[in-house]
């Protein structure tokens, strides 16, 4: 349970950082960041594997680069399902997903997860 809470907090902080750096990502409240982090976990656990399975030929042809597109789609879905969280366009979702991944991995390594 403690690991889940740490992951939730790290993801929420990463989303807040992404909203501060990328002007096309807007998170109005801190609670929206935590709800978004929870939805992000659900989307990554349920929808992302299905998308990867259906787009496996494209992922293989692009040598894995299509996974960036899948991550952006998942990030865009999080913004769609989370109130007070919006992403303007696909490029912002792509940059946001990359930035959230980088900041989350940095914070996870810093905390010694």
Burial class (CB in 10 A: 0-12, 13-18, 19+), 99: buried
pLDDT digits (tens, 9 = 90+) for 35-87: 999 999 999 999 999 999 999 999 999 999 999 999 999 999 999 999 999 99
pTM, full prediction: 0.90
Residues in CB range of 9: below 8 A, 6 or more apart: 34, 37
Burial class (CB in 10 A: 0-12, 13-18, 19+), 55: middle
């Amino acid at each position: 349970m403690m690991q889940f809470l740490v992951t939730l907090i790290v993801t929420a902080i990463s989303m807040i950082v992404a909203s501060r750096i990328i002007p096309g990502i807007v998170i109005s409240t801190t609670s929206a960041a935590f709800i978004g982090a929870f939805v992000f976990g659900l989307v990554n656990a349920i929808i992302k594997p299905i998308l990867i399975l259906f787009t496996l030929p494209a992922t293989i042809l692009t040598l894995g680069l299509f996974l960036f597109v899948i991550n952006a789609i998942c990030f865009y879905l999080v913004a769609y399902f989370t109130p007070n969280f919006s992403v303007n366009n696909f490029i912002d979702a792509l940059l946001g997903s990359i930035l959230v991944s980088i900041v989350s991995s940095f914070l996870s390594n810093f905390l010694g997860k």
